[in-house]
Amino acid sequence: MTTTAQRALITPARLRAARARQFRRVLTGLAFASPWIIGLALFFVYPMVASFYYGLTEYSVLEAPIWIGTKNYVDLFTTDKLFFLSAENTVIYAGMLIPIGTIFAVLLALLLNMKVRFLAYHRTIFYLPVLVPSVALALVWQWVLNPTYGMLNALLDMVGIVGPGWYANEYWAKPSYVIMSLWTLGNAVVIYLAGLQDVPVDLYDAAAIDGAGTWQKVRNITLPMITPVIFFNVVIGLIGAMQTFTEAYIITGGTGNPVNAAMFYVLLLYRNAFVYYKMGLASAQAWLLFVVILAMTLVLVKTSNRWVYYGGDEKK
């Protein structure tokens, strides 16, 4: 009876007033969120839709786009000689950087997680390279790895080792860019440090009672417990490695030399767009990169249940 009486009190006028208040709340929320919504539409949604359209046209910026369907995609796979080479260079670079960078960052995080004096200063020092602009970083490493008067080859010469040609040698070019990228692993190290703080201390205590050594603790406790963090950094690192551009552009002047050994995928995309003014072809190339990165990420996510351990998971 109470419910029936309450329903009787809800008159049409009160219902309209309640709907008006709800509508005003929605408008107020949209007003506060409008800067983000407008920014998302202008700088994310519109560019994606426009690039997809331009990828199906012949477009040089100076003239109106001409619809050609999938011809740009066909040309990339059939007539562009650098397309597969740039893709191969990028995959090789990512294939070297991801495992080496992961191992290096985890080891560095383990060292920085130890209780030693001036630990905060050590962590700051290793993070500082992340704050250096990419252009400045490329210029510094261009001097460090210079095959003729570079600092690294000078140090190797002091111990009787003839240094390689680094970025000026077609076989050492990609390893050179991997070394440059290792210099900016500070972000990953900070994330690993945060993950290490979440490893339960009582697990280490129990392992110590059982007589486990340092390596056994790292192998059987630390690494399994931080696999979610490793997974996250691998995905982010893969996305970044597939889009490498700045260092190669600065050091080679956008040419990708020697012998196109540093012609990475995004560098070729840049050349097609802003050197040859083939905006339609570059847009198609960008969408192919998006699809490849998406596919790789989905494969990682699909296979993560085999090696990523989340607290509370039960092994069957």
Would you list the DSSP string of 173-211? HHHHHHHHHHTT-HHHHHHHHHHHHTS-HHHHHHHHHTT
Residue 260 confidence (pLDDT): 95
Residue 161 confidence (pLDDT): 92
Residue 316 confidence (pLDDT): 40
234-263 burial by CB neighbour count: b if 16+ within 10 A, else e? Answer: bbebbebbbbbbbbbbbbbebebbbebbbb
Are 207 and 221 contacting, i.e. CB atoms less than 8 angstroms apart?
Answer: yes
For residue 223, which amino acid is it?
L
pLDDT < 70: residue spans in the chain: 1-10, 311-316
* pLDDT tens sequence across 241-250: 999 999 999 9
- Tell me the sheet residues that pair with 58: 66
Residue 106 confidence (pLDDT): 95
Cα 262 from Cα 248, distance rounded (Å): 6
Per the rule left: phi > 0, alpha: psi between -120 and 50, beta: everything else, 258 is beta
Residue 57 carries which DSSP code?
A: E
* pLDDT tens sequence across 73-118: 999 999 998 999 999 999 999 999 999 999 999 999 999 988 878 8
CA contacts within 13 A on the Cβ side of 260: 12
First and final CA of the chain: distance in angstroms? 53
Residue 14 confidence (pLDDT): 80
**pTM for this predicted structure:** 0.88
DSSP-derived 3-state class of residue 67: strand
Q: Which domains does the chain carry?
A: 2-54 (no CATH), 74-306 (1.10.3720.10)
Cα 278 from Cα 76, distance rounded (Å): 12
Alpha-carbon distance values, 247 to 198, 255, 263, 303 (Å): 35, 12, 11, 32
- Residue 200: is the preceding peptide bond cis (ω within 30°)? no
Are 145 and 134 contacting, i.e. CB atoms less than 8 angstroms apart?
Answer: no
Backbone angles phi, psi at 49, to 5 degrees: -65, -45
Are 293 and 241 contacting, i.e. CB atoms less than 8 angstroms apart?
Answer: no
The dihedral over CA atoms of 217, 221, 235, 177, expressed in degrees to the nearest 10, equals: 0
* pLDDT tens sequence across 207-248: 999 888 889 999 999 999 999 999 999 999 999 999 999 999
Burial class (CB in 10 A: 0-12, 13-18, 19+), 173: buried
